Structure 1
């Protein structure tokens, strides 16, 4: 892996647009919780013992871990965003896909960090089920929520040469942020080791995205 460095002239970037069929606007107002920061930090643990979780729980987790707080335009004309999680150059190349437990069939939704909404992806269910089956080989999804990282690598590559280590560092920062906030909210979480690369590629059929792995969250 080569050493990354900023480009003298930034490349143009055209974001991937996720095909969606319906939007669910999420709650933005939450009750204040008490808890010392160090207590939250020092009691963080990964746990594979995860139980059913509600949309309200995930809504709060998404809001505090990835909701865009502010947007500015950098010197290249690129929209740079500020969130609770850091990212190289403010690029934030990692999109979040969410699958909540379902009484019928699981499906994927794209989390929009601008308007804080979940958008159901218009991808054939049989293709999505192949993805869930591959993820399930690593750790059973059960009744918990799957949060998956979809990386738009060219977002970071537009500003940096040899950008690979940067977006993988971003993935690690986001993963830890989700775990810390999950612990603060009284939720359990467990990062997944697999990338489900083959079935992920079949979801979108594009060179603009790579699979960044994911994390399970439950009660």
Structure 2
């Protein structure tokens, strides 16, 4: 893979997706959007929030599903192209989101609206959360990690990695706007998480491409406690 060479389409070639170590799964619903919010309002009020409290799993997953789930699938397509809120090179959407919350690691399977609990060591979980908290000590929310499965991009493009990095930035921006739409706080982190990907034993197929935290802003938590 190269970040200096332009990507070149290869056509629709065969690929094998990574098999995630799922131990259990649960269906979640997409969260309801506040009808009074406009796009202009969301854009003007979006901020990076560095002081956060935990939101419920239902709130967090509901918002993330709104940001990530496919709205349209290309029928009969071998590369499973889809249309989603975030742009993606070739409509491939190779990035999945992992959630670190409640001493567990989850994968959001946006295609099936499933939250999948993954088999993960306590040591790697603790080390990753501690690393995130060292960056944002007052962010006590759900830590997110963006992981790209390179099988599809590599089957569609030569030198595909630059496209995946572009997708990661677009996805972070989309989640940031959706968090604001749902009244949640959000902040990207300047770390990647290669040590977490190593735990997944993918033989280089998975690539850590970003991290963030999502949760309740202080004013939202105060309003909830006063009700």
Once the two structures are superposed, the pairs formed by residues 97-116 of structure 1 within 5 Å of their partners are 97-100=98-101, 102=102, 106-116=103-113
Instruction: Give the SS at the match of 1:175.
Output: helix
Displaced runs of 4 or more, over 6 A: none
Q: 1:169 to 1:141 in 2, by over 3 A?
A: farther
TM-score, normalised relative to structure 2: 0.86
TM-score, normalised relative to structure 1: 0.89
Among residues 41, 46, 59, which one is paired with 1:44 in the alignment?
46
1:213 paired with 2:210, answer yes
Identify unmatched segments of 5+ residues in structure 1.
none
Once the two structures are superposed, the pairs formed by residues 59-98 of structure 1 within 5 Å of their partners are 59-73=61-75, 77-98=78-99
Q: What number of residue pairs does the alignment pair up?
A: 212
Deviations 1:68-89 (A, max 9, x none): 22222466x2211111111111
Q: 1:60 to 1:150 in 2, by over 3 A?
A: same
Q: 1:29 to 1:174 in 2, by over 3 A?
A: closer
Determine the structure 1 residue equivalent to 2:142: 145
* Of 137-146 and 56-65, the range deviating more from structure 2: 137-146
Q: Pairwise CA RMSD of aligned residues?
A: 1.8
Determine if contact 1:127/1:202 at 8 Å carries over to the other structure. no
Q: 1:72 to 1:156 in 2, by over 3 A?
A: same
Quote the Cα distance in structure 1 between the aligned partners of 2:178 and 2:62.
Answer: 9
Identify unmatched segments of 5+ residues in structure 2.
217-227
Superposition deviation, residue 156 in structure 1:
1.0
Superposition deviation, residue 13 in structure 1:
1.0
Q: 1:31 to 1:88 in 2, by over 3 A?
A: closer
